[in-house]
Every structure is written in structure tokens, then in C-alpha cells.
């Protein structure tokens, strides 16, 4: 393996990890927003501000993770049957990421009616996706 490949792989792991931090924490902020007492406008505004900032921070992390992953995949010929399923997991995560953005816009507009319990379940999706992706990349079962 060339040192260029290893550097790209290391950077890809860093940006994927950073992106996942946002995928884990933003829905947790949604849980907290769903639990805020309607009379607590300051708390709602603070959590909403945190959510907006995290959302903006997550955007470049996602693009860097995707760009480096694509470079590894196409530039270095990373292949295997496991890669097809990993790409499907990535597609699910991209959809999840976009859903988080849509939910944030609904919360900002005051049109979201989901409960904190719904958001707690929603928050588990990236955990399961990460588990599947790591097993596929490390074990390469097929």
C-alpha cells in the first residue's frame, strides 16, 4: 500500500468520525427540543441555535468524508462484494443526514409535532449504520 493511500484512508476515517459525531448529536438536540416546556422560550432558542450551528458544521464534514471515500474507492480500486452493501449504507446515511436538515427546518418553522420518544428511536439509525459499515470494512464478509 502506498503512503498516499494510507494518508487518504486516515483522513477519510477522521472526517467520517467527525461527521458521525454530528449525526449522533443533532438528533439528540431534537430530543431535547421536543422536551422543552413551551413556556421556556430561552431554552428553546438556545437549543435551536446549537442545532443550527451543528448542522452547518456537519455539511463540510459530510462532503470531505464522501470526497475522500470516493477517491479511495475509485482512485485506488477498493472493491469487493462488501463495498456494494457499504455504499448502500452510505446512501442511507446521506438520506438520514438530509432528513435531519428537513426536521431542523420543521422545528424552526414550528411545524414539527414529533415526540421526544420518536426522536430517541430516530437517533438509533446512525448507530446501526455505523455498526454495519465498520463490520463490512473490517471483516469484509463477502
- List pLDDT tens digits, range 100-118: 999 999 999 999 999 999 9
Calculate ∠ Cα 137-93-51, nearest 5°: 130
**φ, ψ of residue 114 in degrees (nearest 5):** -75, 150
For residues 137 and 58, what is the distance between their CA atoms, to the nearest angstrom?
23
The reported pTM is: 0.95
Compute CA distances 86 → 39, 62, 93, 132, whole Å.
44, 16, 10, 8
% helix / strand / coil in the chain, to the nearest 5? 85, 0, 15
What local confidence, expressed as pLDDT, does residue 22 receive? 98
Q: pLDDT by residue (tens digit) across 114-135?
A: 999 999 999 999 999 999 999 9
- What are the C-alpha distances in Å from 61 to residues 6, 23, 102? 19, 11, 18
- Band (pLDDT 50/70/90 cuts) for residue 77 is confident
Q: What is the DSSP letter of 74?
A: I
Q: Are 8 and 68 in contact (CB under 8 A)?
A: yes
Distance, in Å, from the CA atom of 86 to the CA atom of 65, rounded to the nearest integer, reads 14
The number of folded domains in the chain is 1
- 34: containing domain: 3-139
Amino acid at each position: 500500500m502506498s503512503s498516499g493511500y494510507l494518508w487518504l484512508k486516515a483522513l477519510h476515517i477522521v472526517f467520517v468520525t467527525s461527521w458521525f459525531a454530528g449525526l449522533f448529536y443533532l438528533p439528540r438536540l431534537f430530543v431535547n427540543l421536543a422536551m422543552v416546556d413551551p413556556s421556556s422560550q430561552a431554552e428553546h432558542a438556545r437549543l435551536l441555535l446549537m442545532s443550527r450551528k451543528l448542522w452547518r458544521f456537519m455539511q463540510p464534514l459530510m462532503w470531505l468524508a464522501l470526497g475522500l471515500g470516493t477517491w479511495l474507492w475509485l482512485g485506488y480500486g477498493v472493491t469487493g462484494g462488501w463495498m456494494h452493501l457499504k455504499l448502500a449504507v452510505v446512501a442511507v446515511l446521506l438520506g438520514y443526514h438530509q432528513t435531519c436538515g428537513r426536521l431542523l427546518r420543521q422545528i424552526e418553522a414550528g411545524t414539527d409535532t414529533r415526540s421526544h420518544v420518536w426522536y430517541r428511536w430516530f437517533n438509533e439509525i446512525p448507530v446501526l449504520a455505523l455498526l454495519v459499515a465498520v463490520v463490512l470494512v473490517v471483516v469484509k464478509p463477502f
